[in-house]
Amino acid sequence: MAKATRKQALGRGLSALLKDPDNDIKTVEDKNADKLVGHIVELELSSIEVNPFQPRTSFNEESLRELASSIRELGVIQPITVRKLDFNKYQLVSGERRFRASKLVGLKTIPAYIRIANDQESLEMALVENIQRQDLDPIEISLSYQRLIDEINLTQEQLSERIGKNRSTIANYLRLLKLDPIIQTGMRDGFLSMGHGRALINIEDTQQQLDIYEKIIEKSLSVRETEQLVRELNSGGKEPAARKKNISVPKTYKKGVKEFSEYLGTKVDVKVTKKGSGKLTIPFSSEEDFERLKKLIRGEA
């Protein structure tokens, strides 16, 4: 968490730098441009416009709502990329789903990478230098690889030559970005390793991925134990042995959940661990329903 807070603080500092009209950064030769290229900046959503030439014009509403729910809980994990048009004015290059979902949940700012005029070579140098650092987590490395491919227009083979890594290594990192955002966050926070992530990629169903992720955390499973669980799950589509024992919910919890459901007007679910801890899940059907639930919980209704 400390690492995330530090990055956000840096992003806010760069945001202030970009709001100085007397020192507007327009090219890589400008003062402080080196502090911008390759770094994450917190930008106001209101200062960003969508690309009118974006080939994708329709976005699945349900998928956007799911992404918005993830962002509400975890924040924006993968920054968007924008192009600087003018002072405090930007245009989306990539990440329109993240941009739209952030608007849905009412965020005012979003983490972004900013492309400025003639920064191609500087960006490549900054990204390659960043990859060589020793303290990067697997997801940070994956994102850097993806940016080099997308923004410098490199193939995996060309990227392999530039950074001196095997193409298979690069491919393994890139595959991590297909994991559920919750699992990616777990990797960034050090709760599981790249080996765990590589095992989970072999599960197509997201919910099953998350079920095993929870078991990795709860039981401190090794990579080998995780791989075994995945093999059991993928053999014939059966539940892995570790999931066969259901933990019964105590009567007091059941009664409490019933009261919650009646009060909130929606079916509340509860999951309990062997140690007695657990979590409540409160579903909502729309933004209006979410606001209704919020008022009830606050006692304003």
Spot the catalytic one: 44, 96, 225, 227: 96
Please tell me which residue, 175 or 271, carries the higher pLDDT value: 175
Q: Residue type for 35, please? A: K
Half-sphere exposure of 105 toward its Cβ, with a 13 Å CA cutoff? 21
Task: For the chain, give every domain's residue range.
Answer: 2-176, 204-243, 251-298
Average pLDDT of 243-253?
A: 62
pLDDT at residue 6 greater than cutoff 80 = no
How far apart, in whole angstroms, are the C-alpha atoms of residue 8 and residue 111?
8
How far apart, in whole angstroms, are the C-alpha atoms of residue 221 and residue 227?
10
The model's confidence at residue 172, banded by pLDDT at 50, 70 and 90, is very high
Please tell me which residue, 3 or 83, carries the higher pLDDT value: 83
pLDDT at residue 150 greater than cutoff 60 = yes
pLDDT at residue 108 greater than cutoff 60 = yes
Predicted pLDDT of residue 225: 93
pLDDT at residue 67 greater than cutoff 50 = yes
Predicted pLDDT of residue 135: 73
Predicted pLDDT of residue 198: 94
pLDDT at residue 16 greater than cutoff 90 = no
Active-site residue flag, 96:
yes
The torsion angle over the Cα atoms of residues 201, 206, 211 and 212, rounded to 10 degrees, is 0
CATH 3.40.109.10 fits 2-176, yes or no: no
